[in-house]
Amino acid sequence: MSAATAEPPKTAPAAPAATDDSWSVERAHIDASARGPVLVFFFTALAWLLVSTFFGFVGSYKLQNPGFLADWPIYTYGRVVPAFHACFTYGWCSLAGMGVAIWLMARLCRTPIKFPGALIFGALFWNFGLALGVSGILLGQNTGLEHMALPRPAAWMMFIGYFFVGVTGAVLYKMRKSSVVFISVWYLLGAFFWFPWLFFTAHVLLGVPQLQGVMQNVVAAWFANGLNNYWFTPIGLAAAYYLIPKVINRPIHSYNLASIGFWSWAIFGGLTAMTKLSGGPVPAWLVSLSIAANIMLIIPLVTVGKNLFKTMEGNTHMIYYSPTVRFTFLGAIIFCIATALSLFTALRGPDSVTHFTLFGTATNEMLLYSFYSMVMFGAIYYITPRLVGCEWLSASLIRVHFLCAAYGGGLAVVVMLFSGIAAGMRALDPTAQASQLIYNTFAYLPGRTLALVLVTLGHTAFGLHFLLMLLRIGQPAGQATLFAPLGQEEDHH
């Protein structure tokens, strides 16, 4: 059996044991088997990204101008916001993540996908369930439980769809031909198992037998935290650990750090959920436990951060050339900042200010957009050419996408962080009226709407570019589309 925990994870993505020629034949075989399903995942993910961007914009603009679309019940703020969350997390984040995870797993285990049709079936089921769920929310059928607002039948339909993906992931691991298990595979295997356990447990607990009162909120908080820490973050880190060494062509700095980072995240990342309920009607020890776990996240934060930075050391000029590295490395930096920020605001003092404000939304968007989505963008820029057989048409379009996503996403987060602090500080004063608290928050909102315009622009450019790739309109295969021609490296050393 191959190395897992007893032996440290391997530091370089599955190096071919055989000659280069036989590996490239094998690789082509694997990519051919992954082409259909992975492109379906990417295509539908992108469609959901555009839909969620629309809902995000409507939601943001409605706070500034509540009269906007006010006579349409389906566009009322309390329906648009959960619809946005569902489209973004289950549509874009999950589908893009599943596509990337399956492709990475096949490549790293050096195993072709046996039944690509099953994956496509799973993807369609997931999409169908989600479409039902989002329509349900818009028509007023939400469950009333924040973080788990999707109507339950829709959620179960998505779970059935996921089943095919999870099984494929596990089979790929079981059939692997490589004798070593690269660190990305640890994270992917974790995600493939954690997600269904989490999803199943939470939905069963909220089905029969019915949980009493606040326990429902406890389960929902546990589920929401699990989605971030046991599903999105592992896939994001798996992709970062693969893409950065691959493009700059050197092994990961340290396998011991990688191992510590993985296990500390697995243990403490699962215990941080209850800071969402701090000060709420739950036992005090529960919140204290989660605060302690949040503090312990400093271990994965430092180890993962150091490992990725040390790997990049001496190769930072690649940010200048490679779209994949530019997106992925920015994502890695944001991962560290977002983790540090949520660690800080878990503490009781800061939390008593930022709780119930947009600050929490900001740290969540930072994790899911500026870290996770950026890495997914980088991964899609890397993977798609290998599936369709041509390279991205235009470096300028990629540049537009990067600028809009990085600055738009950053602006949205910064604006909400500040508005959260402003509203929270004001709320500490008991003589402040609710309308004044609101005023403090909303002074910042035009910035957020501007950010969403930028992000919309970036996503449109990305969607267009991806469509061109599907139509095989691009540069000839072989030479990756770069921001600038390689070869001037000496100037940058």
Partner 1 sequence: MSRSSYLFTGIFGSFALSCFALVLVPQMQIGGLTEHENADEGTRYPVVNTRQGREIYIREGCYYCHTQQIRDEQNGADIARGWGTRRTVARDYIFDDPPLLGSMRLGPDLANVGSKDWRNEEKDEQRKPAKRDRAWHLLHLYNPRVLIPNSPMPPYRYLFDEVKAGTAAKANVLPVIAKKKGHEVVPTAEAEQLVAYLLSLDRTEPLPEAGGTKPAASASAPAAAPAAPAKK
Residues 261-280 touching partner 1, rule: CB under 8 A, are: 263, 266-267, 270-271, 273-274, 276-280
Furthest CA-CA distance within the chain:
75
CB 151, min distance to partner 1, A: 12
Residues 112-171 that bind partner 1 (CB under 8 A): 140-146
One DSSP character per residue, 404-449 reads HHHHHHHHHHHHHHHHHHHHHHHHTSTTS-HHHHHHHHHTTHHHHH
Q: Are residues 92 and 52 in contact, defined by beta-carbon separation less than 8 angstroms?
A: yes
Question: What is the spatial distance between Cα 299 and Cα 247, in angstroms, rounded to a whole number?
Answer: 27
CB 184, min distance to partner 1, A: 13
Residues 359-388 that bind partner 1 (CB under 8 A): 360-361
Instruction: Compare residues 264 and 315 and give the one whose CB is closer to partner 1.
Output: 264
Q: Are residues 149 and 143 in contact, defined by beta-carbon separation less than 8 angstroms?
A: yes
CB 376, min distance to partner 1, A: 22
Q: Are residues 252 and 307 in contact, defined by beta-carbon separation less than 8 angstroms?
A: yes
Among 96, 100, 205, 243, the residue binding partner 1 under the rule CB under 8 A is: 205
Q: Are residues 397 and 464 in contact, defined by beta-carbon separation less than 8 angstroms?
A: yes
Residue listed under structure tokens 């500080």: 425
Pair type for strands 390-391 and 475-476: antiparallel
Q: Per rule CB under 8 A, is residue 3 in the interface with partner 1?
A: yes
Among 90, 125, 222, 231, the residue binding partner 1 under the rule CB under 8 A is: 222
Binding-site size for partner 1 (CB under 8 A) equals 98
Q: Per rule CB under 8 A, is residue 208 in the interface with partner 1?
A: no
Residues 424-483 that bind partner 1 (CB under 8 A): 427-435, 437-439, 441-442
| Closest alpha carbon to 92 in 62, 61, 118, 55 | 55
Check residue 232 and report its DSSP letter.
I
Residues 342-361 that bind partner 1 (CB under 8 A): 348, 351-352, 355-358, 360-361
Among 1, 249, 476, 487, the residue binding partner 1 under the rule CB under 8 A is: 1
Query: Is residue 3 left, alpha or beta, with left meaning phi > 0 and alpha meaning psi from -120 to 50?
Result: beta
Instruction: Compare residues 224 and 325 and give the one whose CB is closer to partner 1.
Output: 224
Single out the segment in contact with partner 1 by CB under 8 A; choices: 90-98, 243-251, 259-267, 457-465: 259-267
Residues 230-249 that bind partner 1 (CB under 8 A): 230
CB 413, min distance to partner 1, A: 16
Question: What is the spatial distance between Cα 390 and Cα 367, in angstroms, rounded to a whole number?
Answer: 31
Question: What is the spatial distance between Cα 6 and Cα 9, in angstroms, rounded to a whole number?
Answer: 9
Q: Are residues 426 and 450 in contact, defined by beta-carbon separation less than 8 angstroms?
A: no
Instruction: Compare residues 44 and 275 and give the one whose CB is closer to partner 1.
Output: 275
Among 285, 478, 485, 493, the residue binding partner 1 under the rule CB under 8 A is: 285
Single out the segment in contact with partner 1 by CB under 8 A; choices: 391-399, 420-428, 455-463, 483-491: 420-428
Q: Per rule CB under 8 A, is residue 284 in the interface with partner 1?
A: yes
CB 1, min distance to partner 1, A: 4
Q: Per rule CB under 8 A, is residue 418 in the interface with partner 1?
A: no
Q: Are residues 308 and 332 in contact, defined by beta-carbon separation less than 8 angstroms?
A: yes
Residue listed under structure tokens 């006010």: 70
Residues 6-45 that bind partner 1 (CB under 8 A): 6-7
Q: What six digits make up the tokens of 282?
A: 């739950």
Instruction: Compare residues 147 and 386 and give the one whose CB is closer to partner 1.
Output: 147
Question: What is the spatial distance between Cα 80 and Cα 85, in angstroms, rounded to a whole number?
Answer: 9
Residues 178-197 that bind partner 1 (CB under 8 A): 181, 186, 189-190, 193-194, 197
Q: Are residues 100 and 231 in contact, defined by beta-carbon separation less than 8 angstroms?
A: no
Q: Per rule CB under 8 A, is residue 198 in the interface with partner 1?
A: yes
Q: Per rule CB under 8 A, is residue 309 in the interface with partner 1?
A: no
Instruction: Compare residues 214 and 471 and give the one whose CB is closer to partner 1.
Output: 214
Residue listed under structure tokens 């980088």: 378
Q: Which amino acid is at 194?
A: W
Single out the segment in contact with partner 1 by CB under 8 A; choices: 73-81, 385-393, 450-458, 460-468: 73-81
Residues 76-95 that bind partner 1 (CB under 8 A): 76-79, 81-82
